[in-house]
Amino acid sequence: MKFVKYLKERWITYTFIIAACLFSAIVYKLDKSFSITTSNANYIIMGWLLLFVIFIAIDYGVFNHRLEKFKKYCSLNASSEDLDDFVYPVDKEYAQLVSNLVVDYEKYKADIYNKSAAELEFITRWVHDVKVPISAAKLILENHENDLPINLYQSIDKELFAIAESVQRVFYEIKSNSLHDDYKIAKISTKKLIAQTLKGYANFFSYNKLNISFVGENYNVLTDEKWSGYILSQIISNAVKHTPVEGNIVISTKKIGNETTISIKNSGKGILDKDLGQIFNKGYTSSEDRNDMKGTGYGLYLSKKLSDMLDHKLTVQSKYGEYTTFSFTFMENQTLHHM
């Protein structure tokens, strides 16, 4: 503790000591019958001052020692079993209060943990359970494809896919909290990663008559296939949603040094400059999407979160009115494989 703070803490003690000294000096001056030589008076004053300085030094040292001991007690486990280590009753009282707070906090934390675990288990079960009726609904829709108008069929298919995407997003958000316990870093080719991701969007390319093209070579990258596949799926989903009918999507790969990048560029209205810096923020939707309620602002946030956790890079470039490009970069020397 700094000496100034120490003085603020002990100001009453020192005020009393100084007042007592002043009182003695006043009595000495006023009482004419009190006889003492000047030299003796000076000796007494010097003695008082010396004792006062010694008292301050000792008291300051003891006070700091008590404070450090209390800090150490709080930083460890603040157990009631250690209360007897405190000599001063006040310190012991404070330590007892801290110990009680720690016990209450641990109980509260355990209660919150149990409740969160129960809620997490319920949500996880729900995610798995809801996949069954979604798959069943898709199968029913496919079986009655010829019985429904094409526009109705496509609309229902799109809505079912949107529901499935939302459920998947919940699943990956839950699993992201334990990513380090659920990943497997291995080599996988960019061609395989892209092909697996595109399978789920084949119908949408057909519905919207989108032109898709590929540029670049096939490279091997170190990553987790499942997690990276999900990130790519969110980028492609975003591209499909914001590409106009008969628009273009270009998927390109390139390698520079130890960095391999998959870029997905789509034609369309692009992203406003004022929205570009916030596109990965949680819950953020573009100025235009707020008007027609298209986006939830969560898919790209989760993708960026997972990308950072994998030590990959996810960036975006856009020119409003022309295109948007999302780039997913794998850095061979900075993945979890090397941690």
292 Cβ partners below 8 Å, 6+ apart?
A: none
DSSP classification of residue 298: -
Cβ atoms of residues 227 and 179 within 8 Å: yes
Enter the tokens of residue 111.
Answer: 């209660």
Report CA dihedral (111, 114, 119, 122) to the nearest 10 degrees: -150
Residue ranges in the chain modelled with pLDDT below 70: 32, 34, 77-81, 178-182, 285-297, 333-339
What pLDDT does residue 41 have? 76
What pLDDT does residue 261 have? 96
What pLDDT does residue 291 have? 42
CA 194 remoteness from chain centre: 29
How many residues does this entry show for the chain? 339
Q: What HEC string does the chain produce?
A: CCHHHHHHHCHHHHHHHHHHHHHHHHHHHHCCCCCCCHHHHHHHHHHHHHHHHHHHHHHHHHHHHHHHHHHHHHHCCCCHHHHHHCCCHHHHHHHHHHHHHHHHHHHHHHHHHHHHHHHHHHHHHHHHHHHHHHHHHHHHHHHCHHHCCHHHHHHHHHHHHHHHHHHHHHHHHHHHCCHHHCCCEEEEEHHHHHHHHHHHHHHHHHHCCCEEEEECCCCEEEEEHHHHHHHHHHHHHHHHHCCCCCCEEEEEEEEECCEEEEEEEEECCCCCHHHHCCCCCCCCCCCCHHHHCCCCCCHHHHHHHHHHHCCCEEEEEEECCCEEEEEEEEEHHHCHHHC
Strands 313-319 and 185-189: unpaired
Q: 179-338 belongs to which CATH class?
A: alpha beta
**Amino acid type, 182:** D
What pLDDT does residue 77 have? 66
What pLDDT does residue 217 have? 94
